[in-house]
Amino acid sequence: MSMSSGQRLRFWLIGGTVFLVLLYLLRSVMLPFVAGMAVAYFLDPLADRMERAGLSRTLATGIICLVFFGIMGLGLTLLAPIIQQQVVTFVHKVPAYAEALQTRAMPLLEEVYRHLSADDLEKLRSSVGSYAGTAVGWGMGVLKGVLSGGIAVMSILSLLFITPVVTFYMLRDWDHMIAKVDTWLPRHHAEVIRFELREIDRTIAGFVRGQATVCMVLAVFYGVGLTLTGLDLGLMIGLGTGLGAFVPYVGMLIGLIASVGLALAQGGEWHLLGGVGIVFLVGNVLEGNFLTPKLVGDRVGLHPVWIIFSLLAGGALFGFVGILLAVPAASVIGVLTRFALENYMKSSLYDGIEDDYSKS
Are 155 and 248 contained in the same domain? no
- Residue ending a domain, choose from 184, 214, 242: 184
In a domain, 98, yes or no: no
- pTM for this prediction: 0.72
Residues 6+ apart with CB under 8 A from 248: 304, 307, 308
Are 156 and 293 contained in the same domain? no
Are 209 and 161 contained in the same domain? no
In a domain, 125, yes or no: yes
In a domain, 10, yes or no: no
**How many folded domains does the chain comprise?**
2
R_g of the chain computed on alpha carbons: 26
Answer whether residue 162 shows pLDDT above 80: yes
How large a percentage of the chain has pLDDT more than 90? 25
Residue 229 has what pLDDT?
93
CA-closest candidate to residue 174, choices 59, 45, 65, 30: 45
Are 161 and 231 contained in the same domain? no
Identify the residue with better confidence: 248 or 181: 181
Identify the residue with better confidence: 48 or 334: 48
Are 61 and 179 contained in the same domain? yes
In a domain, 216, yes or no: yes
Are 307 and 247 contained in the same domain? yes
In a domain, 170, yes or no: yes
At residue 237, the 3 state secondary structure works out as helix
Quick one: 308 exposed, middle or buried, by C-beta within 10 A (0-12, 13-18, 19+)?
middle
Structure-derived torsion over alpha carbons of residues 239, 241, 242, 248, reported in degrees to the nearest 10:
160
Whole domain around residue 65: which residue ranges? Answer: 28-81+115-184
Are 159 and 196 contained in the same domain? no
> From CA 170, how far away is CA 165, in angstroms rounded?
9
CA-closest candidate to residue 58, choices 46, 69, 47, 67: 47
Confidence of residue 172 (pLDDT cuts 50, 70, 90): very high
Residue 145 has what pLDDT?
55
Are 275 and 162 contained in the same domain? no
- Residue ending a domain, choose from 134, 149, 184: 184
Percent helix, strand, coil in the chain (nearest 5)? 90, 0, 10
Whether 65 contacts 171, CB under 8 Å: yes
pLDDT in tens, 308-349: 888 888 888 887 778 878 878 888 888 888 888 888 888 877
Are 33 and 178 contained in the same domain? yes
Are 336 and 194 contained in the same domain? yes
- Residue ending a domain, choose from 147, 165, 184: 184
Whether 217 contacts 287, CB under 8 Å: no
Are 180 and 223 contained in the same domain? no
pLDDT in tens, 192-235: 888 888 888 888 877 777 888 899 999 999 999 999 999 988 99
In a domain, 12, yes or no: no
Are 220 and 312 contained in the same domain? yes
Residues 6+ apart with CB under 8 A from 6: none
E strand or H helix at 180: helix 153-184
In a domain, 204, yes or no: yes
Identify the residue with better confidence: 172 or 296: 172
Whether 331 contacts 199, CB under 8 Å: no
Averaged pLDDT score across all residues of the chain: 81
Tell me the angle at which helices 190-204 and 320-346 cross, rounded to the nearest 10 degrees.
130
In a domain, 338, yes or no: yes
